[in-house]
Structure formats: structure tokens, C-alpha cells
Amino acid sequence: MSGRQEARRRDSAQSRESLLRAAGELFAEHGFDRTTTRDIGRRAGVDPALIARYFGGKTQLYLATVEAERGDTVLGDLLDPDRLLDVLERADRKGLVPILQVGVQRLSEPEAEEAARAALHDRLVEPLYRRFAADGKGRPRLRAEMVVAAVLGIVLGRRSGSFGELGKVEAADLAGLLREVLTGEAC
């Protein structure tokens, strides 16, 4: 392989990664519907036409960002202290990533909404459901959905600036207190 082909391959991998990173940031900041391919290309520093080339379109790029989130997620359910802290810290760092956004806002693209919803349930609701079912709790799925909704509400309230203390507290302190509120156990 010539040096020129190798450089082109390296550039395409870098462009693809830049698009994925920029899209993830913009989807978290503005949501799927308010993020344009032009915005993504500009943030990535590449031609937005490359979105179609590397991903097939905006929806497929969104799906790729949802899948990319899966790779760097701590396992466990939201009542696990490390998992809860991870979710709160990620929301502080990245904003409402696609799987959190879909919990509070519908998307205009059905395929993107279904993928984000499936990821929300797979990564957040199902682990809690399994915990509650194993513990013999009544209505385990409803309980799981309530915990996820409560955490989403905390994340939104924290970001809105409407709640003074909620926005100021460190994520680790918040995770401990939130877990205590959700479980009724002193942590």
C-alpha cells in the first residue's frame, strides 16, 4: 500500500471519529431534531457530506452515537453506587446524551427514537427490573421505570439552574444522597 493510500485511510478514520464525537456532543446539547448535519460537519472540522459517506445519514450517525455510548458505560443498575455516580458524572460532562434525552422528549425520526428508547430500557430500566424482580418486589418494571424517571428528573433539575443546591452539589455527594432517598437505606 502506498503512503498516500495509508494517509487517506488514516484521514478517513480520523474524520469518521471526529464526526462521531461532534455528533454526540451536539445531540447532547441540542437534541436530534435541532442538530443539523451542517452543524456536525462544522464542529468536526470536515465536510458534512462525509456523514452520508461514512454513516449513511443523520439518523444512522445518531444510531452510531447511541451505540458508542454503550462501549464506555459502567455495568450495574442505578441503585449500584458506582453506576449511579457514573450516570450523574456523564450527564454533568456530556449533557443529556441520546439515551437520556429520549426519556424526556420524543424524536421526529422513528428509527432514531426506537434505538434510543431500546438503549434506555436495555441499559437503565432492565437492570433495575431484574434487581426488583429478584428481590420479590411487586410491580418490578414500574419500580424500575420510576427510578430511571427520578434520576432523569434530577439530571434535568441540575442542568436547569432552577434548584440552587441541586446544581452546586458534587456528583459523588448527590449520588450517595439520591441512593439513600431511592432505597430508604443510609449510605
**Looking up cell 434487581, which residue turns up?**
131
| pLDDT for residue 61 | 93
**CA 93/CA 90 separation, integer angstroms:** 5
Cell output for 91: 450527564
Do the Cβ atoms of 30 and 98 come closer than 8 Å? no
**CA 174/CA 170 separation, integer angstroms:** 6
| pLDDT for residue 100 | 87
pTM over 0.85: no
Kindly give the parts of the chain with pLDDT less than 70: 1-10, 70-75, 187
Supply φ then ψ for residue 161, to 5 degrees: 80, 0
Q: Which domains does the chain carry?
A: 3-66 (1.10.10.60), 73-183 (no CATH)
Taking alpha carbons only, the member of 107, 114, 20 closest to residue 69 is 20
Average per-residue pLDDT in the chain? Answer: 89
Amino acid at 12: S
